[in-house]
Amino acid sequence: MKDFKKSVVYQIYPKSFYDTNGDGFGDLKGVTSKLDYIKELGVDYIWMTPFFVSPQKDNGYDVENYYEIDPRYGTMEDFEELAKEAKKRGIDLMLDMVFNHTSDQHEWFQKALSGDEKYKNYYIFKKGKPDGSAPTNWESKFGGSAWQYVPEFDEYYLHLFDVSQPDLNWENEEVRKEVQKVIRFWMKKGVKGFRFDVINLISKGEFEDDDQGDGRRFYTDGPNIHKYLRELNEQTFGQEEGIITVGEMSSTSMENCFQYAGEDSHELSMVFNFHHLKVDFMGNEKWVLVPADFGKLKQILFDWQKGMADNHAWNAVFWCNHDQPRVVSRFGDEGMYWKQSAKMLATIIHCFRGTPYVYQGEELGMTNAGFTDISQYQDVESINHFRILQEKGLTQSDAYRILQIHSRDNSRTPMQWEKKEHGGFTTGTPWIEVNRNYERINAKEELEDKDSIFHYYQQLIRMRKEYDVIAYGDFEELDRNHPKVIAYKRTYGTEQLQVIANFYGVDVEWKSSQSFNGFEVLIGNYDETTIEDDKKISLRPYEAVVLYKKE
């Protein structure tokens, strides 16, 4: 049985991974055909974003049927073949479950719209205010009101995301039992992991106007959330040893995560939080142009590392996913120090306490899309905000600059396999354009280059399995106030690890309060590390070094 603390998860966005039939969409057979590549990287689990039947208004996060494979991705036989072949290679599958909402095309919602009271109660319908306006002033995370009027009922339904994604009513026990049935179905198919989309939004609080914001304080980490997760655990995945779970926690608090992912809380194995990926936002507003706040980034990373450890809870650690820009474009350097900065960013995450997640192409140093026309964008959130930003008075060129930095499509461009047309992703026309730098950045080139970003990730993944201090060690921050360096220490029994990373493209000097005597260089992103004396180290642009000692 795998130990999730020594494991690494590889995230696949199937639509953009590999297309085997030339229709421009990645498919399940495409994942199967690349299993040897994934095995070579060394990961333990593949998390795949939803491939269930869906109208694709939100790239599959609007599920129409939880039990069937969307034909554009293949068949149930294709899934079963993928599971079998992955297992042969020692890789388990983790499925992405969207249970805060369904598609408006789901049978349950269609029955609700027909007036069936049983299914209306599967969702959240409310009367408007006396003047006929929406029940509350809550805003959808994709822009506009979170309520949609249904004239036939003279009621509104809640959709925290797109209008085509009505929220489920988890207060209804029948809804909870339906969700449990879905989990058990996929467990029988041999699935060993589940990632739960925005799961901390399922318990809504009071339905009232928010005079302080957009409504999120009324539906985030709601009053019954821990009860619902414990129940889900007890009725499904908690009954089978060896299944790992991760919750995507939107705008959560650390205190709640102590329970979500506590050793003895019987809820989830681990949690994603996103606070560290809002350091280039203005408050909670991401559609702005502001520089990343390095001091805040360091504080958040360190506080979560220490807080979760002190409370015996477990983090999922990551920079990238299908909803985030490419990290080398965001915090690194696409130019002269592309390779060094990508490796530096990987070093920080993979030596943390927590289970690392690698998003497809991250191990190659894939960059943001660089799109220059709105017609190139496919993401509903990006297209909505391109309009909203201009309605707020921004110029079109400023709106484009913001999309180029923050759009979710930055991470959704096709996987770059080789120098062939469309990066070897498809023989057809890809559903979204391939990044133009595929001739320089692709898997074939990196597999052949022993100094590649791919091989560096491979080393980091191997280290987690070999060194207990990485998987189980305590966490101690070093030099929180240094303006350019992230440094921390891990300790486990007689093992000690020091991680020192220059976050910037300039030379810096870093002084340790502890002697380097007795330490060896475990890994670094330059050929040689310059340790000037027993407490001082010179770091080149984006240099990272991991020092190890065993007493």
pLDDT at 533 over 80: no
DSSP for 473-490, please give it.
-EEEEE-TT-SSEEEEEE
Q: Which percentage of the chain shows pLDDT scores above 90?
A: 94
The whole-angstrom separation of Cα 319 and Cα 342 is 11
- Where does the pLDDT of residue 43 fall: very low under 50, low under 70, confident under 90, or very high at 90 and above? very high
The whole-angstrom separation of Cα 312 and Cα 262 is 6
- What single DSSP character describes residue 139? B
Find, among 87, 40, 93, 11, the residue nearest to 444 by Cα. Answer: 40
* Mean of pLDDT over the chain: 96
- Where does the pLDDT of residue 215 fall: very low under 50, low under 70, confident under 90, or very high at 90 and above? very high
Q: How many CB atoms lie within 10 A of CB 133?
A: 13
Query: What pLDDT is attached to residue 159?
Result: 98
Verify whether residue 162 is a known catalytic residue: no
Question: How much is the pTM?
Answer: 0.96
pLDDT at 530 over 80: no
Six-digit token pair at 414? 């096709």
- Where does the pLDDT of residue 551 fall: very low under 50, low under 70, confident under 90, or very high at 90 and above? confident
- What single DSSP character describes residue 323? T
Estimate to the nearest angstrom the gap between the alpha carbon of 287 and the chain centroid: 19
Give the 3-state secondary structure of residue 246.
strand
Give the 3-state secondary structure of residue 544.
strand
Per-residue pLDDT averaged across 508-531, rounded?
A: 90
Residue 450: CA atoms inside 13 Å, Cβ hemisphere, count?
A: 1
- What single DSSP character describes residue 437? G
Choose the catalytic residue: 104, 248, 381, 409.
Answer: 248
Q: What is the pLDDT of residues 307-339, one digit of tens each?
A: 999 999 999 999 999 999 999 999 999 999 999
Give the residues across from 168 on adjacent strands: 123
Per-residue pLDDT averaged across 515-519, rounded?
A: 89
Q: What is the dihedral of CA 423, 427, 428, 431, to 10 degrees?
A: -40
Query: What pLDDT is attached to residue 329?
Result: 97
Query: What pLDDT is attached to residue 513?
Result: 87
In terms of Cβ atoms closer than 10 Å to its own Cβ (0-12, 13-18, 19+), residue 101 is buried
Six-digit token pair at 318? 């990551």
228 CB contacts (<8 Å, ≥6 apart)? 170, 176, 202, 203
What stretches of 70-115 adopt beta strand conformation (E)?
A: 92-97
The whole-angstrom separation of Cα 519 and Cα 538 is 16
Residue with the bigger pLDDT between 92 and 533: it is: 92
- Where does the pLDDT of residue 529 fall: very low under 50, low under 70, confident under 90, or very high at 90 and above? confident
Six-digit token pair at 543? 């240099």
Q: What is the pLDDT of residues 230-259, one digit of tens each?
A: 999 999 999 999 999 999 999 999 999 999
| CB-based contacts of 134-139 (< 8 A; 24+ apart in sequence) | 135/207, 136/207, 136/208, 136/209, 136/210, 136/215, 136/218, 137/209, 137/210, 137/215, 138/210, 138/214, 138/215, 138/218, 138/219, 139/214, 139/215
| CB-based contacts of 293-302 (< 8 A; 24+ apart in sequence) | 294/483, 294/484, 294/503, 295/481, 295/483, 297/331, 298/480, 298/486, 299/480, 300/275, 300/276, 301/276, 301/348, 301/352, 301/486, 302/477, 302/480, 302/488
The whole-angstrom separation of Cα 354 and Cα 309 is 9
The whole-angstrom separation of Cα 129 and Cα 137 is 10
Give the 3-state secondary structure of residue 471.
helix
Query: What pLDDT is attached to residue 538?
Result: 93
- CA quadruple 198, 305, 465, 325: dihedral sign: positive
- What single DSSP character describes residue 499? E
133 CB contacts (<8 Å, ≥6 apart)? none
Query: 89 near 39, Cβ under 8 Å?
Result: yes
Per-residue pLDDT averaged across 154-171, rounded?
A: 98
Verify whether residue 433 is a known catalytic residue: no
Q: Which residue has the tokens 């006396």?
A: 130
Query: What pLDDT is attached to residue 143?
Result: 84
Six-digit token pair at 110? 């269609």
Q: What is the pLDDT of residues 269-306, one digit of tens each?
A: 999 999 999 999 988 789 998 999 999 999 999 999 99
Q: How many CB atoms lie within 10 A of CB 279?
A: 20
Per-residue pLDDT averaged across 487-501, rounded?
A: 97
Choose the catalytic residue: 62, 162, 197, 280.
Answer: 197
- Where does the pLDDT of residue 537 fall: very low under 50, low under 70, confident under 90, or very high at 90 and above? very high
Give the 3-state secondary structure of residue 206.
coil
The whole-angstrom separation of Cα 277 and Cα 298 is 11
One-letter-per-residue 3-state SS of 389-405? HHHCCCCHHHHHHHHHH
The whole-angstrom separation of Cα 331 and Cα 297 is 10
